């Protein structure tokens, strides 16, 4: 009986690992579709991007709101986990900060339309906003502190105000093709430096 037991458990573990991988694939595909087509994009478009059937998506996410919420959390986690990795791998703390802000801007672009999609469940969106700040503000603070300590930027910038400022610069990006927020964000970052551009 004990010989059968491990054999019975192993497939269950593999199935769970496969389910997690499948879910991550779905979330990445949905995020890409949301960037190009908005959060109201047809579910079949997400299924095609992920290479799965509609039933697979509905099995993981029975409602659009659940899918949108899961994408939001997935993007937050990816952005949060990137901070320490960039700090370890980038040429300088300022380079790490700049690269992280690029990811943060990508996240904000993906996030476009999420508030409208979740309007019918405002308590869920409020919880997501709190989660967003709880996860990303400490990462931004760590990157800013490292850049200050390295002498790359002047002290005094608060992580929340930097994130909020970047968010405000991203407003209007979708409605005006002539507007590229990254140009102004670069000006903002150069303004933080102690001695001008590297």
Tell me: pLDDT of 75 over 60: yes
Tell me: pLDDT of 148 over 90: yes
Tell me: pLDDT of 56 over 80: yes
Asked if residue 146 lies in contact with residue 96, where contact means CB atoms within 8 angstroms, the answer is yes
- How far apart, in whole angstroms, are the C-alpha atoms of residue 188 and residue 96? 16
Asked if residue 113 lies in contact with residue 171, where contact means CB atoms within 8 angstroms, the answer is no
pLDDT, average across residues 52-72: 89
CA separation, residue 46 to residues 109, 114, 150 (Å): 17, 16, 43
Question: Quick one: DSSP state of residue 92?
Answer: S
> What are the structure tokens assigned to 8, written together?
């019975």
Confidence of residue 48 (pLDDT cuts 50, 70, 90): very high
CA separation, residue 162 to residues 96, 104, 185 (Å): 15, 11, 10
Please state the pTM of the whole predicted model.
0.77
CA separation, residue 54 to residues 50, 61, 65 (Å): 10, 10, 16
Confidence of residue 8 (pLDDT cuts 50, 70, 90): very low
Higher-confidence position of 173 and 139? 139
| Structural domains in the chain, sorted by start | 1-62 (1.10.10.60), 64-198 (1.10.357.10)
103, 188, 146, 108: which is closest to 197 by C-alpha?
188
pLDDT computed for residue 114 by the predictor: 59
pLDDT computed for residue 7 by the predictor: 47
CA separation, residue 57 to residues 44, 71, 75 (Å): 9, 13, 18
Confidence of residue 178 (pLDDT cuts 50, 70, 90): confident
Return the C-alpha torsion angle 143, 145, 147, 152, nearest 10: 150
Instruction: Tell me how far apart the 2 most distant CA atoms of the chain are, in Å.
Output: 72
pLDDT computed for residue 186 by the predictor: 94
């Amino acid at each position: 009986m004990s010989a059968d037991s491990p054999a019975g458990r192993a497939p269950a573990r593999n199935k769970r690992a496969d389910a997690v991988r499948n879910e991550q694939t779905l979330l990445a595909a949905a995020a890409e579709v949301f960037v190009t087509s908005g959060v109201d994009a047809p579910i079949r478009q997400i299924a095609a991007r992920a290479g799965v059937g509609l039933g697979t998506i509905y099995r993981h996410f029975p409602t659009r709101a659940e899918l949108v919420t899961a994408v939001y959390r997935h993007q937050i986690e990816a952005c949060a986990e990137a901070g320490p990795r960039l700090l370890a791998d980038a040429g300088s703390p300022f380079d790490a900060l700049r690269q992280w802000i690029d990811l943060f801007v990508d996240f904000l672009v993906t996030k476009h339309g999420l508030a409208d999609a979740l309007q019918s469940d405002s308590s869920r969106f409020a919880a997501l906003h709190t989660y967003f700040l709880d996860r990303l503000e400490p990462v931004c603070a760590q990157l800013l502190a490292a850049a200050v300590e390295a002498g790359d930027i002047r002290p005094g910038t608060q992580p929340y105000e930097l994130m909020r400022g970047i968010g405000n610069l991203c407003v209007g990006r979708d409605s005006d093709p002539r507007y590229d927020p990254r140009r102004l964000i670069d000006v903002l970052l150069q303004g933080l430096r102690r001695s001008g551009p590297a």
